[in-house]
Amino acid sequence: DTGVSQNPRHKITKRGQNVTFRCDPISEHNRLYWYRQTLGQGPEFLTYFQNEAQLEKSRLLSDRFSAERPKGSFSTLEIQRTEQGDSAMYLCASTLKDGNTEAFFGQGTRLTVV
């Protein structure tokens, strides 16, 4: 296992289209997080999973966003009816413990909505 993997690395989509991103965490990590990062800003929390359970969602996560982690392994983040404001880097991270531990981030998916 070489770390957290995110696919695709880049996605360009037209406004109004749906997009889905995938994150494969480190295999023994039970916590999985999604963050969003725009240019010049730090990552902002979107949601997280403990195994397959989604435990918290940020207010940033509008109804157009949905995330799943069906078997407690990989996760998907879907954005419906994309808007230009959704353009950002979407980062996935996983941790071995519930807290007080380093987060391992993937390389991110760069979304551009045109």
Which neighbouring-strand residues pair with 3? none
DSSP 103: P
Binding-site member from 27, 84, 85, 98 for another protein (CB under 8 A): 98
Which neighbouring-strand residues pair with 21? 77
Are 113 and 88 spatial neighbours (Cβ–Cβ below 8 Å)?
no
DSSP 3: S
Residues of this chain, 10-69, that bind another protein according to CB under 8 A: 31, 33, 35, 40-45, 48, 56
Q: Which is nearer to another protein, 41 or 62 (CB)?
A: 41
Binding site for another protein (CB under 8 A): 4, 31, 33, 35, 40-45, 48, 56, 91, 93, 95, 97-108, 110
